[in-house]
Amino acid sequence: MLAYLDHHATTPCDPAVVTAMAPWWSEAFANPASRLYRPALQAAAAVEQARARLGAALGVAPDAVCFTSGATEANNLALKGVVEAAAERGLSRRRIVSLVSEHRAVRDPLAHLHRHGAPLTLLPVQADGLLDLNLLEQALTPDVLLLSVMAANNEIGVLQPLAAIGRLCRERGVLFHCDAAQAVGQIPLTTEELGEELGIDLLSLSGHKLYGPKGVGALLVRPGVPLAAQQHGGGQEGGLRAGTLPVPLIVGLGVAVELALADREARALRLAPLRDHLQQALESLGGVTLNGCATARLPHSLNVSVAGLDGTRLHQRLRRQIAVSSGSACSQGSPSHVLAALGRSRAEAAASIRFGLGRGTTEADITTAITAVSEAVNQLRSGPTGW
């Protein structure tokens, strides 16, 4: 059986989440905006309960939660919404600062904004994928309106120093957006858990990355942050994001976030040693190098490059036994811009393997992965074009 080790791409929806969503499809199906009859009020109450659950789990007030279709939409709303709101107020601050290693769901809206006149600074990352805080400090000039830095990288799992970044932004009056699609439910993010404030003004999250349903996510907006709506219509979500609310998905998201936070620590403590064992076994094959920082990293994340091998042939051999990816699932075959940012060559990036362990990952899955990679590497190295 195929061992699923691609939890950065998506996670299986937890059966308890599926159960919680079930009544809201065909039985309690009323539109929460209808308001005039009981089933609609019940649907509206279910949405508000999910909002409260999400807010409580992440340490924000319920009205800071704006439901979206996922992290892509949340990022678009945050980035375009801040820029548009600033333009409407005639602010002289217009520059956006971000990182070269951001997900395309940030980079593409930024490129769009840049094409429409917003000055943009894309900072490099260091060889381990971490942002250089001195460089950031220099880049946060008085014309900077907004900084967008992801919490955890989807390819290499590297965790950026959010609290230090947040402090720099606050000191300079810069708004801080964080794409936390890979971090919520995986690492501590609340002030209560961390003992310090992250200083994030806008945070994007996604249901299907945390054992919830696909097609739902949220943007958390700090009260008072000026944000222009990007989708206009029926005035839902306080006018910020119009459209009939997908009640089952929202209910599922609320439950999924709670469940993901409830087992987060135990999951991390179980998965990190499995991940480390996988890493050591692969490194012992020789010519295998870790991509990204070894320490500031998601506990379930491993990305390695195998020297001297053809990436296409490597992945052709692996795919019969393990579900993993090379670079980002969203990069559609183009070489990984994240690995390029770390200084990896095209060939090294192509011969990279991203492993994402998850709630259902077993020791047997890790054994399968070690065997699959070892066999593939040995076969390719002994072949005519190998080492």
Ligand X SMILES: Cc1ncc(COP(=O)(O)O)c(C=O)c1O
Q: Which residues bind ligand X (CB under 6 A)?
A: 70-72, 103, 105, 150, 154, 179, 181-182, 206, 217, 330
What minimum distance in Å lies between the beta carbon of 104 and ligand X? 8
Grouping H, G, I as helix, E, B as strand and the rest as coil, residue 213 is coil
Return the H-helix or E-strand segment holding 74.
helix 71-88
**Residue 330: how many other CB atoms lie within 10 Å:** 14
Of the pair 218, 306, the CB lying nearest ligand X is at 218
Q: Pick from 81, 258, 65, 71: which is nearest to 154 by CA? A: 71
Is 330 known to be catalytic? yes
**Residue 359: how many other CB atoms lie within 10 Å:** 17
Could you identify the residue written with the tokens 């499809």?
25
Asked if 76 and 202 touch (Cβ cutoff 8 Å), the reply is: no
What minimum distance in Å lies between the beta carbon of 117 and ligand X? 25
**Residue 89: how many other CB atoms lie within 10 Å:** 9
Of the pair 213, 311, the CB lying nearest ligand X is at 213
What minimum distance in Å lies between the beta carbon of 152 and ligand X? 7
What minimum distance in Å lies between the beta carbon of 347 and ligand X? 24
Chain mean position to CA 133: 21
What minimum distance in Å lies between the beta carbon of 113 and ligand X? 17
Catalytic one of 13, 66, 178, 330? 330
CA distance linking residue 374 with residue 249, whole number of Å: 41
Tokens standing for residue 153: 């990288």
Of the pair 182, 186, the CB lying nearest ligand X is at 182
Question: Rg of the chain's alpha carbons, rounded to an integer?
Answer: 21
Of the pair 163, 330, the CB lying nearest ligand X is at 330
Of the pair 32, 70, the CB lying nearest ligand X is at 70
Asked if 251 and 9 touch (Cβ cutoff 8 Å), the reply is: no
**Amino acid, res. 11:** T
- By annotation, the residues acting in catalysis are 330
